[in-house]
Amino acid sequence: MSERAESAEPGASAEPAASAEPAGSAGPVGRLIAGRYRLAGLIGVGAMGAVWLAHDELLDVDVAVKEIRPPFVFSELFGPGGAPGDGAGGEPSDGYAEDGWEASTEAWAARALREARNAARLRANPHVVTVHDAVVDGGAPWIVMEAVAARSLQEAVEDDGPRPLPEVAHVGLAVLDALVAAQALGVVHRDVKPSNILLAHDGRILLTDFGIAASAADPTLTQSPEDSGLPSGTPAYMAPERLRGGPTTLVADLFALGATLFFAAEGVAPFHRDSVLASLHAVLFTEPEPTRDLGPLAPVIAGLLTKDPAARLRADGAAALLTRALRLLAADSPGGLASAPALPPPSSTASPPSGGGPPPGAPPPRAPAARPR
């Protein structure tokens, strides 16, 4: 499978599909959005939005624009179950698309624009897809983002198998940096998973979709908004406390990061099962069983996947263990330290704020020891 040109929505092809416009979509090729962004082709469709490659006619640069629509609208456009590709991999499509909650177009526009502003506040972070603009056109909100040539971590594993352990460590550090920076601004991702992490052709590692929309062609279910009373996220990557109705915090995102790193290293999600209910049961009651030697990554993955949020490895402890793992892996490789790929320096090194780390001066919780194999 070839690499893809990505924006903030995974599953894009290298070239926009010539006839991939969804029936009834408000965005035909050639349409000018907000008097500025000319649609060039459809990149991908998710449960609550479609992503288009576009040209910014004011600045003469290519961008990606995401058209946000309420799920019930996409259910009408694409039929029961939502957008094409939903529910692949043995988990059903978003059953809430038709009757799980009620939302007006105006309410969804306000929510999308609010979340776009949150993402835009993170534009200084090197590990977050940059949001440039948010507009309303044709009665729908549109989020304008940088167009990134990349493929998702999900696609990289599906195409090439489990990732090398040094790459997994780099992914962990990059996503961790983005999550801590977001938490500092009061933003919690809520849906950290492999398909929301982009491996850019220029070497960057980017976290996407800060609650703006669900992903297309993803083998897991993305549920309804948090304000519906149902947890928002992907069951196989959701922390146990969220499934039990607990608050969404950085600590919960860290559990999802642990599951994501396990997937990257193993090639299979630790809690993915043949149904949503089975995945939820696995998250709550089973421990993942690695099938390969995770080496120095074992303590950090085990620590992040601790089911008790009070005992879970915090962000600063995870960063320290990942940095140590990189050094050990590089020292053991034939090329030594020079063999480890470069990674932009973290944008923030301070301890996470309340809810994301231990009190100032307190040592990070000890990571559970890896099970002997």
Binding-site residues for ATP sit at: 66
Q: Summarize the annotated binding site as residue ranges.
A: 66
Q: Nearest Cα to 4, choosing from 208, 200, 217, 162? A: 200
Q: What is the DSSP letter of 228?
A: G
Neighbouring residues of 98: CB distance < 8 A, sequence distance ≥ 6: 72, 75, 80
191 has catalytic annotation? yes
The amino acid present at 13, given as its one-letter code, is S
- Beta strand ranges found along 170-240 (DSSP E): 197-200, 205-207
Choose the catalytic residue: 191, 218, 253, 316. Answer: 191
- The Cα 355–Cα 45 span in angstroms is 34
Tell me the three state secondary structure of residue 64.
Answer: strand
Here the tokens at position 140 are 């729908």
Indicate the pairing of strand 5-6 with strand 32-33: unpaired
Between the alpha carbon of residue 364 and those of residues 29, 155, 211, the distances in Å are 52, 33, 28
Q: Nearest Cα to 240, choosing from 196, 280, 184? A: 280
Q: Nearest Cα to 4, choosing from 201, 161, 207? A: 201
Annotated catalytic sites, by residue? 191
